[in-house]
Amino acid sequence: MTKFSGSLMGLGNPLLDISADVGQEILDKYDLKMDNAILAEEKHLPIYKELVDNYSPQYIAGGATQNSIRVAQWIMTANGKPGQCAYMGCIGNDAFGRQLEECAAADGVCVHYMKDESTPTGTCAVLVKGGERSLIANLAAANNFKPSHLETAESKAIYESASVYYIAGFFLTVSVDSLKIVAEHALANNKTFCLNLSAPFIIDFFGDQVATALEYADYLFCNESEAAAYAKKHNLGDDLKEVALKIAASPKKNASKPRTVIFTQGSSSTIVACDGKVEEFAVTPLPKEQLVDTNGAGDAFVGGFLAGLLEGKDVGSCVEAGHWAARFIIQQSGCTLTKACEYKF
């Protein structure tokens, strides 16, 4: 296992992405929309075998939080700081799980997975069409993470030595109690807790869990569709800059530091709100012919931003690192780190 010297810890749903370029017919067959993420229902379960049998897919280490942690460590390594990032989640004791472990280790992340002996490692079907993607997650073992894993000596050593924590909203469907253990530790020790809303369905169907987690969040990330879904649910209006300000000002457990809210908008400007002020940061557009796959763009942005936080940079520098990481990832298939990072703070 990679040695963890303690800075950033992620907690989430480790999934092996099964990624393939597809046509409209398979999207129609399974009633899927582009640029969307859902949990697999019974009707979606045959899609995984169909991709394997008919589409020559790529297998890529995935899961939103794990992607962000891998990108953050990739950047930290480039800046002379290996072993800064750790990650926990639940996998099965199987080949896919071992593939996830190997990938994380290759990226320099200290993983301390809980292992479920009776449930397979979770998978995510990634359907790519015209550079956009549709995600269908079958959580399997990832759904079985338990707070008891955080009570082990190794887990405690990891989360007690970290200073920044990141959890994507997808984990809210799995174990809010586990999230609260980490968030309460961050609160008690004045450490930094970061949350992502992750997908409109999280906001629409797991509202109580979102409300619980949001009170702990020092940094909140989401994209424009998630921001719009949150605004609609809470009657915050249509102006995303105003929405960001309102979320930043909403109740917060650690009143000693203001909440920073970050809305990404693809190739449009990133919105950042904090302490009654809102800023926009332009994104350098990528020529369409260089776009390969938007899967992982948001995760990569967060990874770059978190690396900036670990380096003690201001919010503008954190956003710049996030934009750079997202730009790199959308030129790859999935969230794959195909070469040494060239980003220096």
User: Measuring CA to CA, which residue among 196, 176, 184 is closest to residue 160?
Assistant: 184
Spatial distance between the Cα atoms of 91 and 70, rounded to a whole number of angstroms = 17
Question: Taking each helix axis from N to C terminus, what angle separates 297-310 and 64-78, rounded to the nearest 10 degrees?
Answer: 50
The catalytic residue among 218, 293, 299, 314 is: 299
Tell me if residue 12 falls in helix, strand or coil: coil
Query: Which two structure tokens, joined as six digits, stand for 75?
Result: 């950047």
**Where does the chain have alpha helices with state H?**
24-29, 46-54, 64-78, 95-106, 153-161, 176-188, 200-205, 207-214, 224-233, 240-248, 297-310, 315-329
DSSP per-residue codes, 129-198: ETTEEEEEEE-GGGGG--GGGGGSHHHHHHHHH-SEEEEEGGGGGT-HHHHHHHHHHHHHTT-EEEEE--
DSSP state of 287: P
Distance of CA 95 to the CA centre of its chain: 23
Query: Which two structure tokens, joined as six digits, stand for 154?
Result: 């190794």
Known active-site residue 204:
no
Active site residues: 299
